[in-house]
Amino acid sequence: MDQIHHFLHRHHLMLTGEEEVKDGVVCSGCHKGLPGPIYGCSDCKFYLHKSCADLPQEIQNFFHPCPLFLTIRSYSYKCNACFEDGSGFSYRCTRCDFDMHVKCAQRPTIKSEGEELIHHFTHWHPLTLVEQKKDIEVLCRICEKLCSGSSNYSAYGCEKCNFFLHNSCMINIPRQISHFFHPSCPLILLTYGRYRCRGCAEESSGLAFSCGKCDFQLDVKCALLPTVESKGANKIQHFAHQHPLALRENMEFGSEVWCRACGDNCLGPCFGCGRCFFFLHTSCASEIPQEIHYPFHPLHPLYLSPLLPDPAHPTFWCPACCGRHDRFLLVYRCAKSITTLNYFRGPEYRQSHFQG
């Protein structure tokens, strides 16, 4: 075939022999010289090795759960598999801001060789079974607990990268989750050099559940914290607050604490964030809905959210009860209008107004 229509270029590409290629011409994809026959568009100075032109447009790689599409990057990037810089060709997931070198995408994967050598999507190198009697002082990158050599805590690791995982953690970790902190997009498990967790606001490195499009990362411990539906949990992630909430006694703080949902004093155990002085009764934490449908605002749902502090206006007006309330309380708001409702703990009010 003397010409092809390639998905990476709008014009037809003509097959050109090696003797017709001018000096200094390089492949637009791999940026290497052009020995042998090439496909090219001389008007646009766009050329591809025949082998590069034959690369598949779309691949599925064990290292990333989304399909990856062959693109030519106009600037340098960092490969999410080997963490080395790249340019030109990339197998890319735009939604997750994930790039792989072509050579990394083509690398054969080791699924398993018995039970001593495996390849896991959390790490680029093969992971070897840690000897049971070997004394190691390393932490599992998922649960952050010590990797022991006992059979109850068998672990796999890459000593070169100081990367270790408990076998149980490795089996149970999901590749993708949906999280109420970032409901608009799924979060993909990726490895980072440095990032700041949007849950606990701490800097971290290694594994994170990430949305590349929104530059949003949650470390594993925050992303997989129990929710309020988990019975008996001492620490939960709740949609009403950006940080984890720990089960606390109000006497820990030396002063009265107030529930941000109903406004009453927390007399017994409550879920709280001491750093932000944010507290919820255990009952309010379990009963308060994240989203409601209000009959007098039928066009849009209302979502639970805090109001920003405003020293000039310490209270707000609730159109449902026609009363003014302290701004420290959580409210239901419409993201597309100015409708703001107070939250009431009374079951009759919730049933008649919130559940619509």
Structure tokens at 43: 């008007």
Per residue in 164-189, pLDDT (tens digit) is 888 888 888 888 888 877 878 888 88
228 in any annotated domain: no
The reported pLDDT for the residue numbered 273 is 85
Same domain for 324 and 348:
yes
The CA–CA distances, whole Å, from 90 to 97, 168, 211, 219 equal 11, 33, 19, 26
DSSP string covering 289-318: -SEE--TTSTTS-EEEEEPPP-TT--EEEE
- Residue burial 167-190, b: 16+ Cβ < 10 Å; e: rest: bebbeebebeeebebbeebbbbbb
Per residue in 47-66, pLDDT (tens digit) is 898 889 999 999 888 778 78
Per residue in 97-141, pLDDT (tens digit) is 889 999 888 876 555 545 677 778 788 777 888 875 555 578 888
* Collapsed DSSP state (helix, strand, coil) of residue 187: strand
Confidence of residue 327 (pLDDT cuts 50, 70, 90): low
> In whole numbers, what is the pLDDT of the chain averaged over residues?
78
Per residue in 248-299, pLDDT (tens digit) is 776 666 667 888 888 888 887 888 888 888 888 888 888 888 888 877 777 8
pLDDT beyond 70 at 214:
yes
The reported pLDDT for the residue numbered 355 is 33
Q: Which of 269, 286, 303 is the last residue of a domain?
A: 286
Confidence of residue 71 (pLDDT cuts 50, 70, 90): very high
The reported pLDDT for the residue numbered 97 is 86
In this structure, the chain runs to a length of 356
Q: Which of 106, 121, 141 is the last residue of a domain?
A: 106
202 in any annotated domain: yes
Q: Show the domain range for 182.
A: 176-223
Rounded mean pLDDT, 214-238: 78
pLDDT beyond 60 at 345:
no
Same domain for 65 and 44:
no
- Residue burial 260-279, b: 16+ Cβ < 10 Å; e: rest: bbbbeebeeebbbbeeeebb
The reported pLDDT for the residue numbered 19 is 60
**Residue with the larger pLDDT of the pair 303 and 196:** 196
230 in any annotated domain: no
Report the number of distinct structural domains present in the chain.
6
182 in any annotated domain: yes
Rounded mean pLDDT, 310-339: 71
